[in-house]
């Protein structure tokens, strides 16, 4: 399932198991990156800091 909140609306896209590449071909992080590119192109993703974790650096 892919979901996106855009302009205050909740959008959902159901993807069936036979439409998803097996894990040997595409792992979940690769799949996430591909889906994000489909919606947003190659724009960088900037996550807001987690409350109380301003000094923590996340790598991904």
More confident: 27 or 50? 27
pTM: 0.51
| Alpha-carbon gap, residue 3 to 13, rounded angstroms | 6
17: closest CA among 37, 31, 3? 31
Residue 6: which pLDDT band, with cuts at 50, 70 and 90? confident
**Vertex 47: Cα angle to 44 and 51 (nearest 5):** 165
What was the pLDDT predicted at 54? 61
pLDDT digits (tens, 9 = 90+) for 19-36: 776 767 778 788 888 888
What was the pLDDT predicted at 52? 67
């Amino acid at each position: 399932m892919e979901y996106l909140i855009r302009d205050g609306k909740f959008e959902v896209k159901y993807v069936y198991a036979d439409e998803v590449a097996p894990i040997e071909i595409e792992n979940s992080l690769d799949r996430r990156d591909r889906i994000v590119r489909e919606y947003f192109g190659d724009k960088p993703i900037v996550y807001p800091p987690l409350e109380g974790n301003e000094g923590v650096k996340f790598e991904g």
